[in-house]
Amino acid sequence: MVDIYTKPKISVAQIVLLFSILVLVVVVGIPVILIFLTAFFEDGKLNIPGFVQILKDPDTYQALWNSLVIAFGTTLVSTTVGVFFAWLVARTDLPFKKTMKALFLVPFMLPSFIGALAWKVLLSPRAGYINKFLMALLGLENAPIDIMSMGGIIVIESMYLFPFVFLQVESALERMDPTLEESARISGAGLLTITRKITLPLVLPSILSGALLVALYSLAHFGVPAILGTEKGIYNIPTKIYERIYSSGGSFRAIRVGTILSTILVISAALILKAQDLLLKKGKYQIIAGKSMRPMLLKLRALRTPLLIVSILYIGITVILPTVTIFLVGGLKTYGLSFELKNLTWANYLEIFRWKMTKDAIWNSVYLSLGAALVTMLAGTMISYVIVKSRPRGKFILELLGVLPFSLPGTVIALGVILTWSGRFGINIYNTPWIIFVAYVARYMAFSLKSNSAALQQVSDSLEEASRACGATHFQTLKNIVLPLIRPGMISAFFLIFLPALRELTTSVLLYGPTTRTIGVAIYALNEDGETVRAAALASVALIIILVGETSIRNFLARLQKQE
Amino acid sequence: MSELKLISVTKRFNQVVAVNKLNLEVRKGECFSFLGPSGCGKTTTLRMIAGFEDLDEGELIVDGEVYSSSYKKYYLPPEKRDFGMVFQAFAVWPHLTVWDNVAFPLQIRRIPKIEMEKRVKEALQSTGLSAIKDLYPSKLSGGEQQRIALARAVAINPKVMLLDEPLSNLDPKLREEMRFEIKDLQRRFGFTILYVTHDQAEAMALSDRMLVMNLGVVQQVGKPLEIYNEPANKFVFSFIGLSNFLKVRVRQGRAFPLGQEEGSPISDEAPTDLGDTCYAAFRPGEVDLVSTSSGSGISGVVTRSTFLGDLVDYRISIGSQEIRVQKPKKNGLLRNGEACRVRINRIHWFPLD
């Protein structure tokens, strides 16, 4: 008898595809659609005038304007600082380059809202330690520096965002074919001309893509404006949405205003991403080629030591000063006392682990970020595999949905999750940790997709085909060939989600309930209540957790890389 | 008159001596090649001439003027040397059009606009790029990109043109074509060429004189034909074309393959000053293969014959040694395992290492 193999009506690939689409639809699709629906429709009718009216409201209009000004200013300052230090490290004979390069990436580790908290302690016009010191020293009536202003917000955000630009530009400069600059030199151009006419234009795509990352981030950033602006009545879009919802006790009208502002955020983010996409396509120069000789380095000569001092001072002021401040304030017996040994106590730190609110917050953050990282990583692996490798019909839906998470700021995700999961579809998880969990999965799906699809693109199709030709089934091929090969990508996706989720504030601040505060929320709430010392003590504990986490993970990844 | 003079130039990278006490004079209008395997120091030498590397010892003098001197700690920066240079990786600027790439060195020199346009046009014309002057390099082929680099280098009318393996990123057919274009450009613009390559055919085809280098040390300087005909040592012989080295025992001017001292000698004009045993070196084409019946010649056995089109490539074992022989197909085919006699027409003698 001849055994004829017939294909089942629905193949495994199709089931996986459908499941992937389902995940994306539920996690990001529905929330986004609900935001747009709520923004544009009222009582089932299209309501454009209502939409316009809310944007015209001076209160919301001002928030919109502030968001743009902060994003623009932050992008400008971060880009300038980032390009300058990248050039200094990659193209001059600055001493201790390797160390300096590592140091310039440290600001990434310090959560910006904790930095903002420290700067508020140091430079707030009323009680800032540095301001008080300067006033006493110079005999001034008023505080010389007011960090709680638009300018202050821009400067503090730039301090912690410039590594985005630094990282991109430094690596572009390092990988650039040095003969591109040498041929300009032999053509008669001096170093300044070369920098201006050859080097900078060639790394322009990297500069711009770093700048756009900063813009994307600062446009929808909650922490710094919340800590430095709210008290003075300075709001950007995320803090305005929070203020409206919080002050109205979560009324639908406030949420509707939130969705309208969110729509603006999503559109701006989409435009920024589109711009980046166009740039990357246009700027796809082949600048990495040829045998790599040592690139020529500008001899700084007399400026060498001063510039090193400037760099070290910069790190000292942006990283060490705020960190030390946070630790010291966290140990004060009462806020406002001077930093003398007799005013400091360990009790505050111990209290963090005894007090229910802070204890809960640490625990919530740890398990929520671990859980979200694991689930998002696995879902991202599956979805990336379908997008990159298999070519079933209907894949385009998935690709469309797959880009969506990239353009969703944290505030928008929080709103969408509220609209979706507070009973409308029969499931109400509002005020439970689950709603934060769902929001984290949506928020970090983009990271997971990026990391996983990058890893999958490295796995050539022929490797899978070779395995199939050897007689392995599709499933065996996945298990024995594909998964081991993309494991580094999966692991890095896990940590790319776990670390930022641990310190998350923007999304969870809109979603927390009485017992579901995260670390970020708890620090923010304590600060709002004027409990500066407790906020600082919790922030110190958070910094230690982050530092330990980052270092052990970096060591782990380094060891993994050695094994490969 | 000499245009460019290197005096006892030495360059070290950490502990490794990349170039060792190199002395050289290149004449005006000459096309001079540096030939050697990769890592032999030829590119380093060129980069020292360009001014990208300092000298650990020695001097570089161009047109009677000191350009680099380790003794005076004086180095004229590359941008002041008025040289043209072409790199292996093309190094055309992707953010500038073809025209702007070529105009760049002239703009730097603040050449008046009318004069500049004339010279760019001329450079583009002589490299055949006029039609694509407004395109961006990333849209162009490797050959076109390298022409841009050439045009850019000739636009300033350089005294000296430095070419660092300019053709090795191109496919073989294009490579041959471009050799002639470079020679044409030299004829038209009258510059001196310093040409770095690891391809001996390229060096032979282009150069008036050339230098063979190995491990930082100059092996031989001379005209291509001289070097081919009178190689100074075993390295030069092996680097220029295909080569055989047969170990021989010399007795009263008669040389026998090692282990076959009873039969006929491969030569009775062997030098006696190289010791008891030495190498007989010869090209695969300088060998006659005749049938065993014809008497003279050393005996060998065909171990492999490969048909290459016009030529047949044989491996012939002679005792425990093997040589390579190439003969035109028309001379008839020998089969694998067939015994034959080998006569070598032109032999170079080198001492054992």
Question: What is residue A296's predicted lDDT score, i.e. its pLDDT?
Answer: 67
Mean predicted confidence (pLDDT) in B142-155: 91
Q: B301, B309, B311: which is closest to B339 by C-alpha? A: B301
Question: What is residue A564's predicted lDDT score, i.e. its pLDDT?
Answer: 62
State which residue of chain A sits closest to B160, comparing Cα positions.
Answer: A186
Sheet strand arrangement including B57-62 = B16-27, B2-13, B57-62, B65-69, B74-75
CB pairs under 8 A between A and B: 81
B101 vs chain A: nearest CA distance in angstroms?
Answer: 10
State which residue of chain B sits closest to A185, comparing Cα positions.
Answer: B79
Tokens of A240: 């305005």
Domains of chain A from N-terminus onward: 7-51+346-564 (1.10.3720.10), 57-330 (1.10.3720.10)
Q: Do A186 and B81 touch (CB under 8 A)?
A: yes
Could you report the predicted ipTM of this complex, rounded to two decimals?
A: 0.80
Tokens of A31: 């929330």
Q: Do B94 and A190 touch (CB under 8 A)?
A: no
Q: Do A202 and B85 touch (CB under 8 A)?
A: no
Low-confidence ranges of chain A (pLDDT < 50): 1, 289-292
Query: pTM for this structure?
Result: 0.80
Q: Residue A168 in contact with residue A279, Cβ under 8 Å?
A: no
Q: A183, A202, A207: which to substitute to probe chain B, counting the most B Cβ within 10 Å? A: A183
pLDDT at B273 over 80: yes
Looking at the complex, does the CB of residue B158 fall below 8 Å from at least one CB of chain A?
no
B311-318 and B217-222 beta bridge pairing: unpaired
Question: What is residue A459's predicted lDDT score, i.e. its pLDDT?
Answer: 82
State which residue of chain B sits closest to A177, comparing Cα positions.
Answer: B91
Question: What is residue A284's predicted lDDT score, i.e. its pLDDT?
Answer: 54
> Chain B partners of A285 at a C-beta cutoff of 8 Å?
94-95, 138
pLDDT at B170 over 60: yes
> Chain B partners of A187 at a C-beta cutoff of 8 Å?
79, 104-105, 108, 152, 156
Q: Residue B227 in contact with residue B234, Cβ under 8 Å?
A: no
> Chain A partners of B83 at a C-beta cutoff of 8 Å?
186
pLDDT at B99 over 60: yes
Q: Do B95 and A204 touch (CB under 8 A)?
A: yes
Residue B218 CB burial class (10 angstroms; 0-12, 13-18, ≥19): buried
Question: What is residue A1's predicted lDDT score, i.e. its pLDDT?
Answer: 47
Q: Do B149 and A185 touch (CB under 8 A)?
A: no
Q: A233, A234, A261, A229: which is closest to A245 by C-alpha? A: A261
Interface of A with B (CB under 8 A): 177, 179-180, 182-190, 193, 197-198, 201-202, 204, 284-287, 289-291, 293, 296
Q: Do B105 and A188 touch (CB under 8 A)?
A: yes
C-alpha span between A69 and A151 (Å, rounded): 10
pLDDT in tens, B46-81: 999 998 888 999 999 999 999 999 999 899 988 889
Question: What is residue A290's predicted lDDT score, i.e. its pLDDT?
Answer: 43
Nearest CB partner across the interface for A289, out of B50, B89, B105: B89
In A220-303, which residue ranges form alpha helices assigned H by DSSP?
A: 223-228, 237-247, 252-282
Q: Do B79 and A185 touch (CB under 8 A)?
A: yes
Residue B33: which pLDDT band, with cuts at 50, 70 and 90? very high
Question: What is residue A4's predicted lDDT score, i.e. its pLDDT?
Answer: 55
Domain at B242-351: CATH architecture: Beta Barrel (2.40)
Question: What is residue A289's predicted lDDT score, i.e. its pLDDT?
Answer: 46
Secondary structure element (H or E) that encloses residue B317, with its range: strand B311-318
> Class of B2-237 per CATH?
alpha beta
Which DSSP symbol is given to A316? I
Query: Would you kindly state where each structural domain of chain B is located, as residue ranges?
Result: 2-237, 242-351
pLDDT in tens, B196-251: 999 998 999 999 999 999 999 999 999 999 999 899 999 999 998 889 999 998 88
C-alpha span between A443 and A509 (Å, rounded): 14
Question: What is residue A293's predicted lDDT score, i.e. its pLDDT?
Answer: 52
Looking at the complex, does the CB of residue B119 fall below 8 Å from at least one CB of chain A?
no
Question: What is residue A427's predicted lDDT score, i.e. its pLDDT?
Answer: 79
> Chain A partners of B79 at a C-beta cutoff of 8 Å?
185-190
Question: What is residue B56's predicted lDDT score, i.e. its pLDDT?
Answer: 92
> Chain A partners of B95 at a C-beta cutoff of 8 Å?
201-202, 204, 285
